[in-house]
Structures are given as structure tokens and as C-alpha cells.
Structure 1
Amino acid sequence: MKVYVTGMGIISALGVGKDATIKSLKMNRSFITKSSDQEGIWSEKHFGEVPFSTEELVENSEFNEGLSNRTLSLGIIAAREALKQSNIEVDKNNRVGLVFSTTVGGASLTEKHYKNYLSGTSTPNFFKSNDITYNAMAISSALGITQNISTINTACSSSAHAIAYGARLIKGGMLDQVIVGGSDALSYSTIHGFNSLCLLTDGVCKPFDRNRKGINLGEGAGFICLESESAIKKRQSKALCQLSGYGLTNDFHHISSSSPEGQGIQLAMQKAMEMTNCNPEDIGYLNAHGTATPNNDLTEGIAIKKIFNNHPLSFSSTKSMTGHTLAAAGVIESILSILAMNNSFLIPNVNFEETMPEHQMMPVSAPEDKEINHVLTNAAGMGGYCSSLLYSK
């Protein structure tokens, strides 16, 4: 059974919505800047921030039920855009579900409560937002979805796994339409965690560059609407593209590092391409995981080299523009890849200067027009999680 994408919604450092995002992608610059919101030692670090206050996001989400938090508001904004484009009617007669993913969840409310506690005030019921399912239930309520609601957390591959799970729900005949996405906001907990692993760079990240020094954390949300072929025909709707393949694997090497030869991500790409019957030369663009850490870019580069061998490949890491959006990375980068395919252009790997001596791979360095029929996007997460998604015209 074929699965199609009929709607997309996105909010990130690139802007709000698909039109603003396309415009930003073609500017050939990074949207990672010094923080306007973080305090203390983090005020000099660079992040891929969404340029709105939490209060503004809550207002724009038009959802004030329960405990609002930044991750939730980002998710609702993206989900509503996707649902609007798809024209899916959510009612009790439709077999519609929602699959959400997050790593940060409502951490911002916990941090707010801690500050309030120190000042002698309180944040009633803040702990409810720490439930990993809280934001999924709130987003489904905002959309009018009352059943078939799931939450997935596989670290930074979460939303890629959510997309594959949504596709399997359709392929298995359980649902006809699934709204799938992920959302994560910047939080001190995440920043301190990545800093403790010595993974943050002082400047702007340089994926696949010889002199890369680490990650810039980002924030954002993305949602896509998946539908079965029969559901699209019944509604006489139009698909944006087909989710034609996916591969989900585990490196089984180390809790926070990729295997030296990148076996996990290599196998994920192979599985996605086998499901689609695609050959390496068929892939018009690869959006790599590309975190700009010494370990990831080396091992992922080795895996890419093994898959594509001597075949010419256009690839880049869009984290050079958005920062690493954690659980939302898989779906945000899926949307960026689909936008590139449907608008016939390649997304540049900004900040790149010098090839890595280990594999001498040259990413796309400037926006370029290109007809693309298939795009591949990778996502990986701590715990060895590896995923690759393949979209086709």
C-alpha cells in the first residue's frame, strides 16, 4: 500500500510556514545567532532560535487550555498549517490518528517553577507537563482528534521514527490518515546536557567541514499529513509526494556515539532504498544528519561513501541553517527536503570551507536549481537509533 504526504507545516529559525522557509533556504546563510533569550554563560552561545517569545507563540497557537509551554505552542502552530493544507476533515467518522514526538516536552515549565520556587512563588500543576504524552494530548485536542494518539521518543531520531510508524499504521490498514510530527524548544536542561558531553561549539556549526567543532542547538516543530491512496482518491485530494521508503536500525555501539564505520545509518539508508527499489544514482538530494560533531560527520560520511560509492551525490546538512532541533529534526528536515524536491533546488551546506581528509566529500555549497525525483533524509539519536526516510515525486 502506498502512503502519500498531503500537508506540511513548519516553524523554525528559518521562519514560520513553508513560504518563509523556502525564502530563507535560498538565502545561502545560517539563521543561527547569539541567543536573545538564554541567560548567564549561554548568552554568548549560538542557537537556532524561533524569533518569538513564548507568550507570542502561545497567542499565535490560539490554544490556551491547560498548561501552555513553548514546545506545545510550536507544535500546534506547525500542526495547524499541515492540517489546513491537507484539508483533512477531522471527525468521528474518519480513521484519523496523531503521532507526536518530543524529547524536551514541558521542561520549560519545570525550569520556570524552579525560578518561582527560589523567589517564593509557585507554578501550580507544572509537573503535569512533564508527562511525555501531555503535549500529544494537547495538540490532538487543538486539532479535534480524540483517538489513536501516540507519542514516540527515540532521542534525535524521534520524529523520523514517528513518520515511519504513521506510515505503518496506514499500510497495516489501521488508519487512513495520520498527522505526524515533532516539536522541541530550547531549554536549559538540554543545553547543559549537551555541554556536559562537550558537544556544543562556541561559534556556528560547520557540518562536514574539516574544522567542525560541534553542535548548535535549535528549536522548532514540523508536521506532515500522511494518507493512504484510497483516502486521497475518496477526497479527490492532491498529494505533495510519496513517502516511498524508510529504514529504521540501531547502531548497537555506544549510548552517545556512532559506530566507527557508521553501520547503523548505512543499513537504514539501504533499507529505505530497497523498499523503494531506488538505486544510488536515483537519489537527487540527501539531507544528512550532519550534526557537525567530529564523530557523527566522520561516521555518517563513511556510511554515505559506502552507499553511493562513485555515484555523484548532492548532499548537505540543513542543521547548518536551523541548528539541531532534536526530536523535531527528522520531520523538519523531511519538510525541507520535500520543499527542495517540489521546487527543484538544492539546499546549501552553509559555513562549509574545507573537506574532511577522511573521505573528501564535498557538500552542496550554494543554492542550485536541480530537477529532483527522490530525496533521502537521515536522522540519528543517542541510544544508537538510526533512521532514513525516502520521499518521491
Structure 2
Amino acid sequence: MKRIVITGVGIVSPCGNNAEQFEASLRLGRSGIKVNEWYDTEGFVSKEIGKIVGFEIPNGLSERERRHCSQVDFYALSAAQEALASAELKVTAGNCTTMGIVLGSGGAVADTETYVRNMLLKQNANPSKLLASNPDKAGNTVAAHFDLHGPRSSIMTACSSGATAIGYAADFIKEGYAEIMLAGGVESTSYVTLSGFNALGAMCAGKNRPFDRNRDGIVLGEAGAILVLESLEHALRRGAPIIAEFVAYGLSSDAHHITAPHPEGEGMVRAMQQALKLGKIGVEQICYINAHGTGTLLNDKSESAAIRNVFGAHADALCVSTIKPMTGHTLSAAGAVEALATVLSLNGQFVPPTLNYQTPDPDCNLDCVPNFARNLEMDYAMSNSLAFGGNNTSLIFKHYQD
């Protein structure tokens, strides 16, 4: 069985527009959540948002690319550019057919929103802008720009899309379809998305406070995160920097409700158990779980129950934190952003905190690393993603040692 390693990472996020800035925020507990000055929030429960600021469009784009790219495309291109550079990879005629991409994306909702508004106002409505609404558009844009001719696929499993993409990319390498894969997720904010989640009653009135007894919902955010995966043999052959090792992943469906998780987290239990089984990892070997941890009443309770179910007595020794109070819930990008955070945590041997935690909840009685990051020697870590429709993904990574 081929061993798969992570050799490059790239990210744009509310708390850092590159991996170095992002890791610094994780270590310092520095949140990118801000007062929402980008959208009209009248009637909205939440007045905050995880918005990317100071973003610069990547260099090297043609005028045509700039004209046809949505914000989602720009985020994906920027993350891919950094990931390739950090992996010390150059795409050439000799390797382009062995390099591919799997990207989780919900499409550019803001572009569709603008088109519909312009149509209603009888202003200039360019139908080509609707192309960006296709969830496949961002991956296609990255593949075309970097000349990636290997496998290309787009994933839409709601908020677990980015995590699922990473698992699928590893499979492409293990089965011989590619030598190198880019994998991750991307999302940008829109008024439609904000108003939709507000209508669902999912937004928090104050601070996003996962696992806290007084939690009352999410804050939305945006991000793009991409990891470079390749076989260990291939990475060693080309002298690549190795950040962490990908071990295994698990997938499951709650088949329960379109928005609510199963009360006991049965689907998440199966996803974690499957990842552990396929990775041949004992529960006691996992030291840290980067939780989905949205800050909603049902999610945090069911995820905590699922972790207790799978890990038993070892759950008391686990660090279980969530970075959503730093980034906001970045939807299609969330699983990739949190996987990237887990990889950085393993490489740097630290655990990011769960911010805004004040009041313990007996239904979430895990060590959620409240408010301050923690140094931790660890070999294995898990990253969990739960999504609307009950789409569950669990990823396991390992600290790489020669």
C-alpha cells in the first residue's frame, strides 16, 4: 500500500492569507471574525462575519482569466499557487499528465446573485457570469491555469466537501491514476448564503462559542485551502519537503435529516471508526481531534457524543478543539481549512484553541482546549467534518518522521 504525504499547503482565510499567517493565528488564538460591514445585516441575527481582507489577486493571470474569474476562482488560484510553491513543484510537460485536482466547492453564489439583480433592474446582465455558479468552475480554472492534465473532480457534500476531496485525492494516487494531487475546498460569502442561514435560525446572536453551554449558532466565513498530496516514494525521489502524512479517511451518511445531525452522532461514529480501521490505528494513538464544532446546540452535542462513543475512556485524554471562532464556518472550504490546520498542528506539535469558551456544558464534556493554544507531542491527529444531509468525513494524519 502506498504511503501518502502532504508536501505543500496553501490558504487564504479570515485569519491569514498564506500558511505562515494562518499558523500564527492558530498559535496565538487570533480570530479573523469582524463586524459585518460588507452586507446589509438588517433583520439578521448575526452581525459578524469571517471575511478575507487584504487579498491580492495572484500574479501571472492573463487579462482573459481576470475577466472570467469569480472571487471563488481567485481564492482557489491563490491557494493552489502557494501550495505548489511550498511543495517546491513546477508543472512541466513531463509531469502535467500525472498531476490532478479534486476541489470541494459550492460555486460562486455571489456571481449568480449579481446576475439576477442586474436582470431584475434591467441593467447589464452578462450570462457568462453564470458559469461561475457551477461547483466545477473553480477546479477547472485551477487545472487550466496550472496545466494539470491528470484526474480532475469536483465534490459537493456541503460542509464536508473539502475534507472529502482530500480523501478522494489520496485514492487517486493509491490506485495509480496520478502521482501528485491538489486537493481542498473553496467558498466565498454572499448575501443569499447569509440570509439563508439566518432564515434557518442557525446564526449566533453574539460570539460563536462552540462546546460552550451558552452556544447559540454559527458565524459564516469564507476561505480557500489546498493541500498537495503525493506518494512518499515520489516525494523522497524528488527531495520534496514533507509536512505530514495522510493515513486514512472514513465516509458515512446519517440518512436522517436535511439539516440536523443524528442526535447521537451515529453517522460520525461510523466515519471515525472506518478511518481508524482503514488506517490500522488504535483509538489510543489519536492525540488530537480538530472537530467540526460549529457552535450550534445540536452539532456540538452530537459530535461530542460520537467522540465519546468511539474513543471510550480515551476521550478524556484527547484534545478536541475547533477553529471556527477564528475563521467562521467556511462551508465547502471548512473541511479543507481544518485539515490544513490539523496538518500544521502535527508538524508544529501544537493544538489550536477553541476561542470564546466560558461555561462548561455537561453534554460536551471534552477537553476543548479553551481560549489558548497548547503545545502537544503527538503522532496522530484526526479532522472531522459534518454537513447538511448527514455527510460525514473523518480524516487521519500522522506526524512525519524520517
Query: TM-score, normalised on structure 1?
Result: 0.94
Give the Å deviation of 1:180.
0.7
**Aligned-pair CA distance for 1:234:** 2.7
Structure 2: how far apart are the matches of 1:174 and 1:390?
22
CA offset at residue 276 of structure 1? 2.2
Amino acid at match of 1:67: H
The one-letter code sitting in structure 2 at the alignment partner of 1:122 is N
The alpha carbon displacement at 1:357 in A equals 2.1
Note if 1:336 corresponds to 2:337.
no
Q: Which residue of 2 aligns with 1:380?
A: 386
| Preserved CA contact (<8 Å) 1:212 1:292 | yes
Read off the aligned partner of 1:15 and give its amino acid letter: G
- What residue number does 2:29 align with? 28
Confirm whether residue 389 of structure 1 aligns to residue 395 of structure 2. Answer: yes
How far is the alpha carbon of 1:44 from its aligned partner? Answer: 6.3
- Inter-partner Cα distance in structure 2 for 1:288 and 1:93: 40
Aligned-partner Cα distance in 1 for 2:286–2:381: 6
More deviation in 223-232 or 91-100? 91-100
Kept in 1: contact 2:58–2:78 (CA 8 A): no
| Secondary structure of the structure 2 residue equivalent to 1:297 | helix
Residue 185 to residue 357, structure 1, CA distance change in 2 (3 Å)? same
For structure 1, the residue ranges without an aligned partner over 5 or more in a row are none
| RMSD after superposition | 1.8
Letter aligned with residue 11 of structure 1? V
Alignment of 1:69-84 (within 5 A): 69-84=70-85
Would you say the 8 A contact 1:158–1:327 is kept in 2? Answer: yes
**Change in CA separation of 1:233 and 1:128 when aligned onto 2, cut-off 3 Å:** same
- Which residue matches 1:285? 288
Instruction: Choose 358-367 or 164-173, whichever is displaced more.
Output: 358-367
- Which residue matches 1:253? 256
Cα distance between partner residues in 2 of 1:133 and 1:280: 36
- Aligned equivalents of 2:282, 2:187: Cα separation in 1: 34
Instruction: Give the deviation of 1:118 after TM superposition.
Output: 4.3
Q: Distance in 1 between matches of 2:30 and 2:132?
A: 35
- Is the CA contact (8 Å cut-off) linking 2:46 and 2:219 kept in structure 1? no
* Alpha-carbon distance between aligned partners in 2 of 1:326 and 1:61, rounded to the nearest angstrom: 28
SS in 2 for 1:292: coil
1:270 corresponds to: 273
Summarize deviations over 1:258-311 as a string: whole Å, max 9, x none: 111101111111111222222222212110000111111010000011122222
Q: Which residue of 1 aligns with 2:111?
A: 109
Task: Tell whether the 8 Å contact from 1:3 to 1:228 is kept in structure 2 after alignment.
Answer: yes
Counterpart of 1:219 in structure 2 is: 222
Quote the offset at 1:340 in angstroms: 1.3
CA distance in 2, matches of 1:250, 1:43: 30
- Provide the secondary structure at the position in 2 that maps to 1:358: helix
Judge conservation of contact 2:58–2:77 (CA < 8 Å) in 1.
no
Q: Is the 8 A contact 2:304 2:365 kept in 1?
A: no
Identify if the C-alpha distance between structure 1 residues 44 and 164 changes in structure 2 by more than 3 Å, giving closer, same or farther. closer
The answer for the alignment partner of 2:149 in structure 1 is 146
Q: Work out whether residues 46 and 216 of structure 1, in 8 Å CA contact, stay in contact via their aligned partners in 2.
A: yes
Which is further off, 196-205 or 20-29? Answer: 20-29
* SS of residue paired to 2:159: coil
TM-score (norm 2): 0.92
Residue 353 of structure 2: aligned partner = 348
2: CA distance between counterparts of 1:300 and 1:212? 14
Distance 1:51 1:203 in 2: 22
Give 1:343 shift.
1.0
Alpha-carbon distance in structure 2 between the residues aligned to 1:272 and 1:78: 27
Equivalent residue number for residue 369 of structure 2 = 364
Alignment partners' CA distance in 2, 1:40 and 1:381: 25
1:317 corresponds in structure 2 to: 322
Equivalent-residue separation in structure 1 for 2:280 and 2:151 (angstroms): 31
Provide the identity percentage. 32
Cα distance in 2, alignment partners of residues 68 and 34 from structure 1: 27
Gaps of at least 5 residues in structure 2 are none
> Within 2, Cα distance between the matches of 1:51 and 1:20?
13
Q: Residues 301-342 of structure 1: CA distance to partner in whole angstroms, max 9, x if unpaired?
A: 000111222221111011121110111111110111111111
Shift of 1:200: 0.7
Please state if 1:12 is matched with 2:13: yes
Q: Is this contact kept in 2: 1:37–1:43, CA < 8 A?
A: no
CA distance in structure 1 between the partners assigned to 2:151 and 2:279 by the alignment: 27
